[in-house]
Structure 1
Amino acid sequence: MTDMKKTRPERRQGAAVVRGDLVPDSTHDQRLLDKRGPADWLHMDPWRVLRIQAEFVEGFGQLAELPQAVTVFGSARTRPGAVEYEMGVELGRKLAEAGYAVITGGGPGCMEAANKGAAEAGGVSVGLGIELPFEQAMNEYVDLGIEFRYFFVRKTMFVKYACGFVTLPGGFGTMDELFEALTLVQTGKVTSFPVVLMGTEFWGGLIDWIKTTLVKTGKISPADVDLIHLTDDVDEAVRIIVDADRHRGEQLEAERRAAVTTVSDAE
Structure 2
Amino acid sequence: MSQVWPYLPARAVNITSLVEFDRLAAEALASHRARGKNWRVHRVDLRERDTVLKSLDLSEALFIDCQYSSQGQQIVQATGGLCMSSGSELPFETGARDLYSADELYSGIRTQTYEHVPDAKIYAYSQQHVAVNGNSDDSALSKTLHDHHIGQALVSAVYEGMFQDTPIIGVMGGHAMNRGTVEYARAVELGRMITRAGYAVATGGGPGAMEAANAGAWLADYEPEDITTALRMLAEAPDAIHQRTGWARTALMVKERFPSQRQSLGVPTWFYGHEPPNLFATGIAKFFTNSIREAILLEQSNGGLVVLPGAAGTVQEIFQDACENYYATGARVVPMVLIGKDYWTKDLPAWPLLQALAKERVMEQKIALVDTAEEAMAFIESMTTLRRRTRHPQGS
Shorter-chain TM-score bucket reads 0.7 to 0.9
What 5-or-longer segments of structure 2 have no aligned partner?
Answer: 1-72, 94-99, 106-117, 222-261, 390-396
- Give the conservation status (yes or no) of the 8 Å contact 1:130–1:149: yes
Give the alignment partner of residue 112 of structure 1, picking from 207, 211, 218: 211
- Give the conservation status (yes or no) of the 8 Å contact 2:191–2:201: yes
* Structure 2 counterpart of 1:177: 317
* Structure 2 counterpart of 1:72: 171
Q: Which amino acid aligns with 2:292?
A: V
* In structure 1, distance between residues paired with 2:316 and 2:140: 25
Equivalent residue of 2:332, what SS? coil
Equivalent residue of 1:76, what SS? coil
Matching of residue 93 in structure 1 with residue 192 in structure 2: yes
Shift of the alpha carbon at 1:79? Answer: 1.3
* In structure 2, distance between residues paired with 1:9 and 1:44: 18
Q: Which amino acid aligns with 1:191?
A: R
Equivalent residue of 1:71, what SS? strand
Change over 3 Å in CA distance of 1:207–1:56 after alignment to 2: closer
Shift of the alpha carbon at 1:48? Answer: 6.6
Aligned-pair RMSD on alpha carbons? 3.6
Equivalent residue of 1:147, what SS? coil
Residue-pair matches, total: 234
Larger RCO, structure (CA 8 Å, separation 6 or more): 1
Which structure shows the higher strand fraction? 1
What 5-or-longer segments of structure 1 have no aligned partner?
Answer: 253-267
* In structure 2, distance between residues paired with 1:18 and 1:97: 30
* Structure 2 counterpart of 1:256: none
The worse-fitting range, judged by mean Cα deviation, of 186-195 and 105-114 is: 186-195
* Structure 2 counterpart of 1:255: none
Which structure shows the higher helix fraction? 1
- Give the conservation status (yes or no) of the 8 Å contact 1:27–1:132: no
- Give the conservation status (yes or no) of the 8 Å contact 1:10–1:19: no
* Structure 2 counterpart of 1:152: 291
Shift of the alpha carbon at 1:116? Answer: 1.2
After TM superposition, where is structure 1 displaced by more than 6 Å over at least 4 residues in a row?
10-16, 42-48
* In structure 2, distance between residues paired with 1:62 and 1:73: 20
* Structure 2 counterpart of 1:204: 345
Change over 3 Å in CA distance of 1:55–1:152 after alignment to 2: farther
* In structure 2, distance between residues paired with 1:86 and 1:19: 28
- Give the conservation status (yes or no) of the 8 Å contact 2:345–2:351: yes
* Structure 1 counterpart of 2:327: 187
Shift of the alpha carbon at 1:52? Answer: 4.2
* In structure 1, distance between residues paired with 2:85 and 2:156: 27
